[in-house]
C-alpha cells in the first residue's frame, strides 16, 4: 500500500510518517501544497492524507484536482477546525473521512486501515436503496418519503451499510468503521445498534432492507428475501 501525506507541520508529518512506516506502509511526504499536488498527480496512491491549511495550494484545491483525476484513491482530510461548513465543502469535493487535529496516532491508524480495507466506494452525496434515501451532506434519512430520526451512531452505521449494498459486512468490519479506538470490546454492540436501526428503518415497512447473514454479519439489499 502506497500512501501520500501532505502536511506542512513538519513535526506532525514526520511523526505520522514514522508511525505509518512502522506499520509497513510505503509513505511519501510533501510539506507544501504544490509539491503535494505534483506527487499526487505523478503517482498512483492508495490513500492520501491531506492537511487543509497548506502553503502554496490549499488542501481543498488539491482534493478537487485529485478527484478530477481519480475516484479510486481514498482521501483522509486533516483539519484543525471542526467546522461543519468546511466539512460539507470537502465532502462535496470528494473527501472520504476526516480527522480533527490534534489526534492520537492510534486514531489516525484506525481510519487509514478502514479506508484501505473498504475498497472502491460510492461517492454520491445521496444514496438510494429501494425506497430508502440517505443524504450524506445533511445526514438526513428518509424511507418512502418519510423522515427517519437517527442518532449519530445509528446514522454512521446505516451509512456504512448503505455504502456497501450487497456486500456482507462482518461485525469486526463494522466496529472498525463505525466505532473508534476508544471502543472497548462489547462485540454485541453491533447487534444492539442494528436492532435499533431495524426498529426505525425496517419495522414500519413490509420490505426489509437489513439482512442478517448468520454467523458472519450483516448486509443490505432490496432484493426479495429467498
Q: Which residues bind Ca ion (CB under 5 A)?
A: 8, 51, 53
Helix, coil or strand: residue 114: helix
Contact 57, 39 (CB under 8 A): no
Helix, coil or strand: residue 170: strand
Q: How far does CA 22 lie from the centroid of its chain?
A: 23
Q: Which is nearer to Ca ion, 50 or 114 (CB)?
A: 50
Beta strand pairing call for 169-170 and 217-220: antiparallel
Q: Which sign does the torsion angle of CA 168, 169, 171, 173 carry?
A: positive
Residue 54 CB, shortest distance to Ca ion, in Å, is: 6
Residue 122 CB, shortest distance to Ca ion, in Å, is: 30
- Residues contacting 65, CB < 8 A, separation 6+: 37, 40, 41
Q: Which is nearer to Ca ion, 53 or 165 (CB)?
A: 53
Residue 224 CB, shortest distance to Ca ion, in Å, is: 51
Residue 159 CB, shortest distance to Ca ion, in Å, is: 28
Q: Which is nearer to Ca ion, 53 or 88 (CB)?
A: 53
Q: Which is nearer to Ca ion, 30 or 169 (CB)?
A: 30
Amino acid at each position: 500500500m502506497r500512501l501520500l501525506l501532505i502536511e506542512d507541520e513538519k513535526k506532525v508529518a514526520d511523526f505520522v510518517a514514522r508511525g505509518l512506516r512502522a506499520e509497513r506502509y510505503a509513505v511519501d511526504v510533501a510539506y507544501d501544497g504544490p509539491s503535494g499536488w505534483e506527487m499526487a498527480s505523478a503517482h498512483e496512491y492508495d490513500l492520501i492524507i491531506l492537511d487543509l491549511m497548506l502553503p502554496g495550494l490549499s488542501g481543498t484545491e488539491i482534493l478537487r484536482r485529485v478527484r478530477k483525476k481519480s475516484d479510486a484513491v481514498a482521501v483522509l482530510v486533516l483539519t484543525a477546525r471542526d467546522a461543519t461548513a468546511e466539512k460539507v465543502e470537502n465532502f462535496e469535493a470528494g473527501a472520504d473521512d476526516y480527522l480533527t487535529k490534534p489526534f492520537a496516532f492510534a486514531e489516525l491508524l484506525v481510519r487509514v486501515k478502514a479506508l484501505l480495507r473498504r475498497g472502491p466506494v460510492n461517492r454520491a452525496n445521496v444514496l438510494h436503496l429501494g425506497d430508502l434515501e440517505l443524504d450524506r451532506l445533511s445526514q438526513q434519512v428518509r424511507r418512502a418519503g418519510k423522515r427517519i430520526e437517527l442518532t449519530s451512531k445509528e446514522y454512521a452505521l446505516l451509512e456504512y451499510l448503505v455504502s456497501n449494498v450487497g456486500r456482507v459486512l462482518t461485525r469486526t468490519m463494522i466496529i472498525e468503521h463505525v466505532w473508534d479506538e476508544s471502543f472497548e470490546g462489547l462485540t454485541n454492540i453491533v447487534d444492539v445498534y442494528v436492532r435499533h436501526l431495524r426498529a426505525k428503518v425496517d419495522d414500519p415497512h413490509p420490505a426489509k432492507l437489513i439482512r442478517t447473514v448468520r454467523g458472519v454479519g450483516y448486509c443490505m439489499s432490496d432484493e426479495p428475501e429467498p
